[in-house]
A and B are shown apart, each in its own frame.
Chain A
Amino acid sequence: MSESMRIHHHFEIRWGMVIDIDKCTGCGACVVACQAENNIPPNPDPFDRMRDPHWLIVYKLSNHKKFPEHDTAYLPRPCMQCGNPSCASVCPVIATTKDEEGGIVSQIYPRCIGCRYCMAACPYHSRVFNWFDPVWPEGMDKTLTPFVSTRPRGVVEKCTFCHHRWQIAKEEARKRGENPMHLDEQAYIPACAEVCPTGAIHFGDLHNPEHIVHKLARSPYAFRILENLGTEPQVYYLSRRDWVRKQGDNHFRQEEKKNS
């Protein structure tokens, strides 16, 4: 990627996630919590991933070796909140941008015209389009949260790192008379990271040395998915397993030689 294509903003805070793949059991608690928190409607048949809205999904990885050398791992995939988001640069109506402090890529539903260029541009399949109006079974709509507006048919949506939780944390900090731009590590945690029973999902400010993610992202076992594309994701993964880290990127054959 040429320098001119980079749309780097400088942010004081860079919210980031470090997911320890070696601790993920694929239990799915994060997916459920994400769905409940962000008013993603339930679906009796959610297995057509092209049609079903989801913000966070868990992929199963395989080392592709034969039994009994086979190994498996789970990879939860939220929005990567890229440093150079390919989705934002293609949006014709500026419904998705990366301009707010914290570096979370925004998605404004009323502004979205549903052209889905962003979906084509996103290399992580993090974005989903609402092909249908959202439906909750009668009574279950009572569990809608006040955090995220419901999305009608015809707009694109994606993970926001539970951006509303940051807003809530900032309000709490203001109430206590603290600086809302210098939050405690525990003050703002997305739903998936909060519920993860093995603590595989770490969250914090990648710029802040007091936050654990600052250290973890610099671990020799840390990697990002498709790093070669230059998207600079704010989601890092950790694995001590070589084969897992290798699957983080698609290498052309000549690149592989260069890297090894």
Chain B
Amino acid sequence: MSKKKKIGLLPFAAGFAAALVFGWNIFPQILYSNKGQPTTFSHTGHLNHTQKDLQDLDCVDCHYYRADGSFAGTPSLESCAECHNEPLTGVPSEQTFVSEYVKKDKQVPWNTYQGQPDNVYFSHIAHDTYECTECHQDMENADSLPPYYENKLTGYSRDIMKMHECERCHARENTSNACYLCHK
């Protein structure tokens, strides 16, 4: 009798374990595809230039508020071309960037990690009192870009901030959670 019981629990445990493995490990691999970015980019390389004659940049040189208060997000080709009109360094990826995008006047189709969908309106400047890293990954010391995972079903980025996260913070901060605060 006791032997029979033991055998009976084993399949349950196996099923339990398989579901956990599937749910936490395999399912995300199926759901998300790693799209990466169209070109490489080193934040550290731009923030602390190894070459002496090049000017060190600050985060806000590229990630700035426009005159109308909207947030520029990833820089446009024009901002990149301000410095990279011609290759500045011997880095091969820079040369590819100049020949593929700058010379062809083609905007870099950056994938935005936390780009909100069409129906959401997010104002960066309204959240200006918070540190960027409260929501965004700290890229200051990153030499390469993190992988970009796209949800195959929704097309959204894996790292997007979901509505419940917005609402939680708004509730905590005693800010309105009305629909029209964020939706358009």
Contacts and interface: CB of A to CB of B under 8 A. Distances in A.
Contacts of A172: 68-69
Interface string A92-128: 0010010111101010111100000000000000000
Q: Is the interface of A mostly helix, strand, loop or mixed?
A: loop
A171 B183 contact: no
B166 interface: no
Contacts of B31: none
B123 A167 contact: yes
Contacts of A147: 184
A147 B50 CA distance: 42
B98 to A, nearest CB: 28
Give the interface size bracket for A toward B: 20 to 34
A5 B178 CA distance: 21
Contact of A101 (B68, B117, B125, B176): B176
Interface in A157-197: 160, 163-164, 167-168, 170-176, 180
A99 B178 contact: yes
Contacts of B65: 175
A104 B184 contact: no
Nearest to B66: A175
Given A164-B121, A167-B121, A170-B123, A100 B179 contact: yes
Contacts of B184: 147-149, 163-164, 167
A163 B121 CA distance: 11
Contacts of A160: 180
Given A149-B118, A171-B125, A174-B126, A100 B180 contact: yes
Contact of A149 (B68, B69, B119, B125): B119
Given A149-B184, A167-B184, A171-B69, A100 B126 contact: no
Contacts of B67: 175
Given A149-B184, A174-B128, A97 B179 contact: yes
A73 to B, nearest CB: 32
B180 A175 contact: no
A99 B125 contact: no
B68 A175 contact: yes
Give the interface size bracket for B toward A: 20 to 34
Contact of B119 (A101, A102, A110, A170): A110
Interface string B140-184: 000000000000000000000000000000000000101111011
Contact of A100 (B125, B128, B181): B181
Contacts of B178: 97, 99-101, 106
Interface string B51-80: 000000000000001011110000000000
Interface of A: 94, 97, 99-102, 104, 106, 108-111, 147-150, 160, 163-164, 167-168, 170-176, 180
Interface of B: 65, 67-70, 117-119, 121, 123, 125-126, 128, 176, 178-181, 183-184
Q: Please give me the 6 A-B residue pairs with the lowest Cβ-Cβ distance, nearest first.
A: A175-B69, A171-B69, A100-B178, A149-B118, A106-B180, A100-B180
18 contacts: A94-B179, A99-B178, A100-B176, A100-B178, A101-B176, A106-B178, A109-B119, A110-B119, A149-B118, A150-B118, A168-B69, A168-B70, A171-B68, A171-B69, A171-B125, A172-B68, A172-B69, A173-B69
